[in-house]
Structure 1
């Protein structure tokens, strides 16, 4: 017995095959490519025993007698019919009463709004058998998953925002996060707008953060949503995080409402997608109340279906293992949805944290480590910036010609040499992380970073981490 039966015209076999491949990640899908035996007998048996039928509307399908015959069989056996329109056309005569999902222009992307809509509709009839799987990329392929956004900030970094963006552009960084706090017109560095335009012109993806990180660290209570709006004016960007609610309610429904209200308010400030940030309520003991966090994240995802949802890593627990356990709870809750919801962790640039939290279910990260510390790429550990003297030899063997040449370039100061060394490391780390995730080898990747003894402790305390 199948969960989903695909009805299509032979001329649309390519699109039907793509749909079967996508839906099979969640359901048992049947189409006539599987037929063995008498055609008409098998067709009637499969339609009678399936749980829903998904016909593909197209000009050729509209006039095909076999398409109409299969749909009549579905109606005869009271099988739910959920059409999907793949080419502009009317439904076959007699089937106009069914609301069709718009799959126009879909070429197999997991994050296409139409395919997500179709999966939601199927889920109302047939609960998915399997949890949704992490797509290889989002944002029309521009943001591979897992991904690392290299952050730029005026707070406690070795490079001021403008110089940091210049370094990222020169290095060809593909995903960049910049703080709205540093884009506020009264303190906006001259030339930063042009740098962001150049980054995007060469294929980079720019994500603007709310600026609350810098405002909080500086005890700046004057930073408000209206300032956030001004900061976005004239700034070239792809996505924006909402101006987050830093003091969320402990009531689940109210907490969800606060996040959605912030997103809806900030959508007026930009034409780009606005992504939610969800915080956990602080406790008197300087920790965070995580009781309802997974449910709040799922509710926000279900109502907004955003490209990503951000959580602050520091709020997920005191230690890294507790943070991974919380992230796993969040992912388990999100697995109940009909679609895959990517999660971004704010302030995560430590290689160990990235590896472990990816295995726990996080998909995207950002960090300032590349312009704050010096990486020991042999041990995958972070050191004080001035300790680069002991790792400069590693930069001489970097894959990037920019990193190698920076060592002997008198026009690049010490901070720049360290930054290019770090950038080379993080590019390789991200590439290896993505390869490990795509081949289900995250455990081997983590062992390579943490070592055998630390990995054993991790497995002992989180047996289901590398499931």
Structure 2
């Protein structure tokens, strides 16, 4: 027995196929690809079994007699009908008065607001049989999940922001996080001088090259740098000016650094901040949600998963960002906290991706992915050097011992950089790291598609550490 019956015309078959393929992961779905024999013989019987009808409306469909006939049968059977608009054509009378969702030329992007509206409407009629699965991509296929962003910051890294951006552009790294703080003229080295103007010009040129390389740019709020430097003068107004100055594809919210321990008050604070920040940019806003602080130190996580679920339900963001460091003192605590968050978010009708801020350690990335996180950012690529053989991080100055790994890289840009006399030590080390993180991202995405995360985690952590992990968190890979 089907939960959903899809009505569509042959011209719109590709959209109907995408709808069928994605909806089938959570509901029983019927469409005429399953039909055997005479169409009129089955249509009324199959529709009678279904709980609701999803109608793909288009210029071709609205005036087609067979489509009008199917919809009339659905109305006579008193089936809830959800029109899905894939062009500017109004739905036929009387469906024009029905609550519809707009998908446009939908490619299967589950981060689209119209898609979230559709699954919410369906869930109101018939409960899903499965929790929402992690999509392979979001943001019109620009961000593959799990995704790794390389962070760029002026605070305690081996590369200036302009140099880091240039290295990422040369490597054509797909996802980069920048800090709005580093795009404020008053916070550049030598602010107010010609030297500062030159730095600003170099950063702008580097960012232009990065965007031409096709990178997805996530602009952070700048509160990380401001808090580390004790800069109490960093404000939403300066953040807005930085967003206007630096082109980007996504922007984090100007975070509420110490939200109320009262969940309702914290919810209101964060939602108000996101609505304010949406006026600063046309790009989607990624809410940063901090856990309330405890007087004795640490963070109060008791109501945190519910707060995140309520925020996701209200704001429906492409990503929901959480500082990893606030999820517990050790990795196992953080894994358990992430699992609780994922369980709560999976109660939503749609899949809500989670981004963990400040997560660049390979062990953390793979284990927290297994726990339910979907994307990460970290500064490790421009602070330390990774040993590809052990997947461990070492002092930046130890790159000398890992040059051979870069010499054997499958990426020509890495091999060329290591051999070049024109690229300084820090640049070579950073490219070595980018090479590694690009490979880990690809392995992680492949493991998720094949449902083989446990094997990948074991290959990084090795048997003894994986055994300890599964003993501490028995449900991690279930």
Please, what TM-score do these two structures have when normalized by structure 1?
0.95
Match of 2:265 among 251, 254, 261: 254
**1:207 equivalent in alignment to 2:197:** no
CA deviation digits over 1:425-448, x for unaligned, max 9? 111111111111122111111111
The residue matched to 1:162 in structure 2 has which SS?
helix
Name the residue aligned to 2:327: 316
Residues 187 and 39 of structure 1, relative CA distance in 2, 3 Å threshold: same
Instruction: State the match for 1:133 in structure 2.
Output: 133
* Structure 1 residues 390 and 125: CA distance shift in structure 2, 3 A: same
Of 348, 351, 354, 1:340 maps to: 351
**Structure 1 CA distance, aligned partners of 2:58 and 2:164?**
50
Contact 1:239 1:272 in 2 (8 A): yes
Q: Which moved more, 1:160-169 or 1:53-62?
A: 53-62
Residue of structure 2 equivalent to 1:270: 281
Per the alignment, residue 307 of structure 2 pairs with: 296
The match for 2:195 is none
Cα distance in 2 for partners of 1:182, 1:125 equals 48
Asked whether the 8 Å contact 1:196–1:206 carries over to 2, the reply is no
> Are 2:171 and 1:171 equivalent residues in the alignment?
yes
Separation in structure 1 between the aligned mates of residue 307 and residue 353 of structure 2, nearest angstrom: 15
Give the distance between the partners of 2:84 and 2:68, measured in 1 at CA.
15
Answer whether contact 1:352 1:449 (CA < 8 A) is retained.
Answer: yes
Shift of 1:49: 2.2
Please give the secondary structure, in 2, of the residue aligned with 1:2: coil
Q: Which residue of 2 aligns with 1:223?
A: 234
Give how far 1:332 is off: 0.9
In the alignment, the residues of structure 2 paired with residue 95 and residue 414 of structure 1 have an alpha-carbon distance, to the nearest angstrom, of 65
* CA offsets 1:34-64 (integer angstroms, 9 cap, x no match): 2345544432222222111112223333333
Please list, as runs of the form range in 1=range in 2, the aligned pairs for 1:452-467 lying within 5 A after superposition: 452-467=463-478
Residues 88 and 216 of structure 1, relative CA distance in 2, 3 Å threshold? closer
Q: Which residue of 2 aligns with 1:355?
A: 366
- Cα pair distance change 1:459/1:8, threshold 3 Å: same
User: In the superposition, relative to structure 1, how do residues 94 and 247 fare at CA in structure 2: closer, same or farther (>3 Å)?
Assistant: closer
Structure 2: any 5+ residue segments left out of the alignment? Answer: 189-198
SS state at 1:83 partner: strand
Could you tell which deviates more after superposition, 455-464 or 91-100? 91-100
User: Shift in Å at residue 195 of structure 1?
Assistant: 1.1
CA contact (8 A) 2:385 2:393 kept: yes
Is 2:207 the counterpart of 1:196? yes
Task: Pick closer, same or farther for the CA change 1:31–1:411 going to 2, 3 Å.
Answer: closer
Matched, 1:99 2:99: yes
Relative to structure 2, which stretch is displaced further, 176-185 or 61-70?
A: 61-70
SS for the counterpart of 1:450 is helix
CA distance in 1, matches of 2:16, 2:385: 51
Aligned to 2:24: 24
Query: Scaled by the length of structure 2, what TM-score is found?
Result: 0.93
CA distance in 2, matches of 1:227, 1:86: 39
* In structure 1, distance between residues paired with 2:390 and 2:252: 34
CA shift in 2, pair 1:123/1:377, >3 Å:
same
Aligned pair 1:373/2:404, yes or no? no
Cα separation, partners in 2 of 1:391 and 1:59, compared to 1, 3 Å: closer
CA distance in 2, matches of 1:22, 1:282: 40
Alpha carbons of 1:250 and 1:410: their partners in 2 closer, same or farther (altered >3 Å)? same
Decide whether aligned partners of structure 1 residues 223 and 51 sit closer, same or farther in structure 2, where only a CA change above 3 A counts: same
Report the alpha carbon displacement of residue 94 of structure 1 after superposing the two structures with TM.
4.2
Runs of 5+ in structure 1 lacking a partner?
none
Does structure 1 retain, via aligned residues, the 8 Å contact 2:290–2:326? yes
Q: Is the 8 A contact 2:154 2:182 kept in 1?
A: yes
Does 2:291 correspond to 1:280?
A: yes
Shift of 1:342: 1.1
Residue aligned with 2:151, SS? strand
Q: CA deviation at 1:11?
A: 3.5
- d(CA) in 2 for partners of 1:94 and 1:228? 47
Please provide the CA RMSD for this pair. Answer: 1.8
CA distance in 1 between counterparts of 2:419 and 2:53 reads 65
Alignment partner of 1:389 is 2:400 = yes
Measure, in 2, the Cα distance between the counterparts of 1:56 and 1:137: 23
